[in-house]
Structure 1
Amino acid sequence: MTADLDHPRRGGLWHHPEFRRLWIGESISQFGSTISQLALPLVAILIVQASTFEVGLLVMFEMAAFLLVGLPAGAWVDRMRFRSVLILNDVLRALALASVPLAQWLGVLGMEQLYVVALLVGVCTVFFDVAYQSFLPQLVEREQLVEANAKLQASESVMQISGPSVGGLLIQVLTAPYAVLLDAFSFLWSASWVAAIRTRPAKPERRPDRNLRREIGEGLRFVVGNPLLRPIALCTGAANLFGSMATAVFYVLLARELSLSPGLIGLLGSTSAIGGLAGSFVARRFAERVGQGPAIWISSLAMAPFGFVAPFVQRDWTLALLAFAQGAMWLCVVVYNITQVSFRQGLCPPALLGRMNATMRFLVWGTMPVGGFLGGLLGSMIGVRQTLLVVAVGGALSFLPVFLSPLRRMRELPSYAATV
């Protein structure tokens, strides 16, 4: 690594070439992903004529990988070069998604294939996300992590603003299966940017006594045994459980009960991301003003009231209220995520980064397939709106683990660099 890469020019990470390549690649991937996040449920609802329960199962399969491979993925990634993991899983996701329009063209597309594609994409996403969050501290200095995560979150929000709107229009023009094809191309483009990164840390040495079970245990003990990471995992896991329950029925409400067009559904998704973009700009200053620990629980609590809008939305002015509520909720989500992810990355020893990230993903994303299943089940039993009301009540309580922890009063959170 050259000195210029080790010490970016004044102006921060805007002038850091390696971070910029990762940033562009991730942004392109996010743009395509926002299209498929809208397109896959609409493929199931509009093309395959799936039931509410089947849509819930699709959400479950999208997230099941975090339960199936979440923990061993961290140990495996810690044994590999992070850059290679990113490239490989971008390519594999492209191939899986490209099979959807191919099957539609051949006239054989069904829910079984959508389940398989969702699971394969989920497995690749597990490995990509673990490697991505572990690679970032190798590209930038630890004191730049908050800035790096804020910039990545900002671009992600921009892609989420444009992606659903463009995706909704493409779904109307091309139909949902063929809109997924754009997502496949986006992953290939993302892979090309990651491949251009010149920073290539040495492959971790193969320890003669390495043991997968022991390495997984080290990651689990680091997270579960830490009095600051444990409440973050509980809070995020609870929020994700109820959030995935909402996802299982939300598009059914919009597309089937309210009969909204794909374009309008996409526009609603874009307004959510506007709040996320705003959150990426204010997260750092908010944490500096109230303190890092309070920023975590305050942002978690602040999102709770906005969940009570969706259960009562109608095809009238309340759609505008829903758009505002979604945007405000995502502003809080992004502030929460930037603060707690940056803290986790700074706290963890470098040798444990993959396992720490994988353990956190297992604990906080592993609740999502359960939520998808429960959302689909409840939606088919008690109704879509009633399920969204259950979600709103449960989500309002998810802040309690961080509020009742030492984080509540800690303005400055510890870091690994301060202990060595």
Structure 2
Amino acid sequence: MGVRARGRGRLTSVVPSPRHTGLWRQPDFLKLWVGQTVSELCSRITRDGLPLVAVLVLGASPGQMGALAASAALPVLTIGLFAGAWVDRLRRRPLMIVTDLVRALILLSVPLAAAFGFLDMSLLYAVVLFSSICTVLFDSAYHAYLPTLVTREHLIEGNSRLALSSSLAEVLGPGLAGVLVQALTAPVAILVDSLSFVVSAFSLAAIRQPETMPAAPAERQPIGHEIIEGLAAVWHEPALRALALSSGTRSFFGNFIGVLYALYAIRELGFGAAALGLTIAMGGVGDLLGALLAQPAVQRFGLRRTLIGATLLGGLISLLVPLARGPLGLAIAMLMTSQLLGDGLRSIFSIHEISLRQAITPDRLLGRVSASMNLTAGGIGPLGALVGGFLGGALGIRPTLALAALGGGILSAFWLLRLPATVDDENH
């Protein structure tokens, strides 16, 4: 039943049946899950803590804060495809361990620099840039590694469990970050995240399941040829092409909302900082619910309908944002509902999109395909932010947010209609 994958030379299903459960009882998967749960939770400390170091400790200007954000985004655009090729040339687990340990050392430089009095913005730029490079490498290896750790019929369960960790971190992480920054100061709080990468590295090192060896150096093509092979694999595989086009469209329109959301909530709806923060926090709760409902959804509706339905419904629910008006309480309720349901549907889509990608991609191409898909979404995102900002000024914020909801829902779902019928559950 489900998608028939050829990555390991045998037919397998990506859609789980109720009897295909039990990753909680698989020791090696639990080691991966525990390490990533700790790392995800503590990474929120750095995400929130580094900007606070820049603002509170170093008095950063708006331009410097923009440069700090750009330092984090630059590696995705510049080395993403190379990272995918390197991942396919190397064993994934050792690469993940090395990048975890390097990130631990990089982040350790912040509290050390603060303690010895040489912390400045140039160091923060370097910390963000090099830790982001490691993150690009880790993430490419991470998504390519899971299919070697669990069987293909367990992919959705595995991705759901790992997404659950990320969702819990999104709900609990900001509060933990705030407490630690308040109690320890921002630079010292980042030490906790540094230690979490050590925990992640040790959890990966404890995994005993052997990993498939990559191709021997003599069998490799030039890296440029391998990058093109990864891009071609996405374009020539109908399911991957549909997912890439849909994700790129969603990223383009989603960045309209990302740019305008806070401005709209504060200036047009009259939200205060607390109301805005609580509203955004509902997205973390939605992610958590989506991770819990991902498996039941695909078992009930099938994979193809789940992907299309989550995209369409997510777009329609996003219309609650531009439609919000009236008393402040009503507006808050509408935006909270949008965050809760919209992020929940996005989580369901993401889990199944990654699982489908892993199921139909041969092992030797997993890193490159993952990097190519990430570049499709990440590369078009900044363009969407620019266009959204321009249209917000030219048309008004409400019409632009309505356009974002419709485009992100209807146009993204249009590409998914091109998914082959074979991706659906044959029992539905």
Instruction: Please give the range of the TM-score, normalised by the shorter of the 2 chains.
Output: 0.7 to 0.9
CA distance in 1, matches of 2:265, 2:122: 24
- Residue aligning to 1:185: 195
Out of 138, 144, 150, the residue aligned to residue 148 of structure 2 is 138
Relative distance call for 1:37 and 1:338 in structure 2 (3 A) is same
Work out the CA distance in 2 between the residues paired with 1:253 and 1:173.
Answer: 33
Counterpart CA distance in 2 for 1:225 and 1:80 is 25
Counterparts in 2 of 1:278 and 1:356: CA distance versus 1, 3 Å: same
Tell me which residue corresponds to 2:369: 356
Q: Take 1:111 and 1:55, find their aligned partners in 2: how far apart are those partners?
A: 10
Q: Do structure 1's residue 86 and structure 2's residue 96 form an aligned pair?
A: yes
- After superposition, the C-alpha distances for 1:2-43 in whole angstroms (9 at most, x for unaligned) are xxxxxxx98511111111111111111110112222223343
Aligned to 2:240: 229
What's the secondary structure of 2:211's corresponding residue? coil
**SS of alignment partner, residue 366 of structure 1:** helix
Instruction: Report the Cα offset of residue 172 of structure 1.
Output: 2.8
**Equivalent residue in structure 2 for 1:306, among 318, 322, 329:** 318
Query: Deviation per CA, 1:136-165, whole angstroms, max 9, x where unpaired?
Result: 111111111111111111122122211112
CA deviation digits over 1:61-91, x for unaligned, max 9?
A: 2122111111111111111111101111111
Q: CA, structure 1 residues 62+393, in 2 after alignment: closer, same or farther (shift >3 Å)?
A: farther
Choose from 335, 338, 342 the match for 1:325.
Answer: 338
Q: Matches of 2:264 and 2:293 in 1, distance apart?
A: 32
Quick one: which of 112, 122, 127 aligns to 1:112?
122
- Assess, with a 3 A threshold, how the Cα gap between structure 1 residues 21 and 369 changes in structure 2: closer, same or farther: farther
SS at match of 1:203: coil
1:217-256 maps to which residues of 2 (within 5 A)?
217-241=228-252, 243=254
Q: Is the 8 A contact 1:234 1:401 kept in 2?
A: no
CA shift, 1:369, in A, is 5.4
Using a 3 Å threshold, how does the CA distance of structure 1 residues 33 and 398 change in structure 2: closer, same or farther?
same
| 1:81 alignment partner AA | R
Question: Any idea what the Cα deviations from partners look like across 1:226-246, whole Å, max 9, x if unmatched?
Answer: 232223222223433455676
> How far does residue 54 in structure 1 lie from its aligned partner after superposition?
4.3
Q: Distance in 1 between matches of 2:266 and 2:58?
A: 14
Farther-moved stretch of structure 1 (392-401 vs 326-335): 392-401
**Aligned-residue offset at 1:336:** 0.7
Tell me the matched-pair count.
Answer: 401
**Paired residue for 1:297, among 278, 289, 308?**
308
Choose from 335, 339, 344 the match for 2:348.
Answer: 335
The answer on whether the counterparts of 1:280 and 1:338 sit within 8 Å (CA) in structure 2 is: yes
Q: d(CA) in 2 for partners of 1:177 and 1:259? A: 28
Structure 2 counterpart of 1:61: 71
Instruction: State how far apart, in whole Å, the 1-side matches of 2:189 and 2:323 are.
Output: 29
Say which of 398, 401, 407 aligns to 1:397. 407
More displaced stretch, 22-31 vs 111-120: 111-120
**Alignment check: 8 A CA contact 1:149 1:342 kept:** yes
Task: State the distance in 2 between where 1:42 and 1:308 align.
Answer: 32
Which residue among 275, 278, 285 is the counterpart of 1:274?
285
Partner of 2:6: none
1:109 CA drift (Å): 3.8
Q: Which runs of 5+ in 2 are unaligned?
A: 1-18
CA contact (8 A) 1:300 1:336 kept: yes
**Partners in 1 of 2:258 and 2:107 — Cα distance?**
20
Q: Distance in 2 between matches of 1:248 and 1:56?
A: 14
Which digits, 9 at most, give the CA deviation of each residue in 1:197-246, with x for residues without a partner?
11232432314252211111111101022232223222223433455676
Gaps of 5+ in 1: 1-8, 416-420
Distance in structure 2 (CA, Å) of the matches to 1:59 and 1:180? 17
| CA–CA distance in structure 2, aligned partners of residues 140 and 90 of structure 1 | 22
Query: Aligned pair 1:165/2:190, yes or no?
Result: no
Alpha-carbon distance in 2 for matches of 1:236, 1:360: 8
Q: How far apart are the structure 1 equivalents of 2:74 and 2:296?
A: 36
Pick aligned residue for 2:53 from 43, 46, 50: 43
**Counterpart-to-counterpart distance in 2, 1:240 and 1:95:** 32
2: distance between equivalents of 1:223 and 1:24? 32
Cα distance in structure 2, aligned partners of 1:103 and 1:307? 47
Q: Aligned ranges for residues 17-36 of structure 1 at < 5 Å?
A: 17-36=27-46
Q: Equivalents in 1 of 2:193, 2:260: separation in Å?
A: 23
Kept in 1: contact 2:308–2:416 (CA 8 A): no
Partner of 1:77: 87
SS across alignment from 2:213: coil
Q: For residue 10 of structure 2, what is the aligned residue in structure 1?
A: none
User: Structure 1 residues 180, 39: closer, same or farther in 2, change over 3 A?
Assistant: same
Asked whether the 8 Å contact 2:313–2:409 carries over to 1, the reply is no
Residue 96 and residue 368 in structure 1: after superposition, are their counterparts in 2 closer, same or farther (change >3 A)?
farther
Amino acid at match of 2:181: I
- For 1:155, give the aligned amino acid: S
TM-score using structure 1 length: 0.81
Change (3 A) 1:109 1:302: farther
Distance 2:29 2:409 in 1: 33
Equivalent residue number for residue 6 of structure 1: none
Normalized against structure 2, the TM-score is what?
0.80
C-alpha distance after superposition, 1:315-363 (max 9, x if no partner): x645565444322222011011011111111111122112111211222
